[in-house]
Amino acid sequence: MSWVTHEVLIAGQILGACAYTGASYRLWRGVFDRAAMALLAAGVVFDVAMAVLGSTSDLGDNPDGMPWGHPLFWLAVVLATLGMVGYILDLALLAVRRWREWAGRFVQQSQLVIWPAWMAGVALFILNVYLGWF
């Protein structure tokens, strides 16, 4: 996919970050309404799409392969994946009405871990584009 550039991925991650930030704020405040669900779903769609596009594009063609030996790469992958899986779990818990009341406190408190983890992981990936850490 030669049309996928770093700028496209960064723009998608910024849109995802805006959606996740809005959703996390609402969920942390205990507001489980349609707007929170829509923001959460939009964030998940952007996040998954950017993860797939980033891993299948020509940008990852490195003669040395993926830099799995670099600790910052590991940290970025673990943090971003933790956040993405956490948001997908929150979306699944809130999507089923029977689970919503049971999972309300978990979803609310999970925002204290999920949002910072995801933001830190994605920030490491974006900074790597400009600074070339790994």
For the chain, what are the domain ranges? 6-131
Measured CA to CA, the distance from residue 40 to residue 15 in angstroms comes to 12
Residue 83: CB atoms within 10 Å: 24
First to last CA, the chain: 22
pLDDT digits (tens, 9 = 90+) for 80-132: 999 999 999 999 999 988 888 888 889 999 999 999 999 999 999 999 888 88
Q: Counting beta carbons within 10 angstroms of the beta carbon of residue 8, is it exposed (0 to 12), middle (13 to 18) or buried (19 or more)?
A: middle
In this prediction the pTM is 0.88
Question: CB-side exposure of 58: number of CA atoms within 13 Å?
Answer: 5
DSSP state of 59: G
Give the range with max mean pLDDT: 24-28, 59-63, 101-105, 126-130: 24-28
Given pLDDT bands bounded at 50, 70 and 90, which one contains residue 134? Answer: confident
Determine the 3-state secondary structure of 70 from DSSP: coil
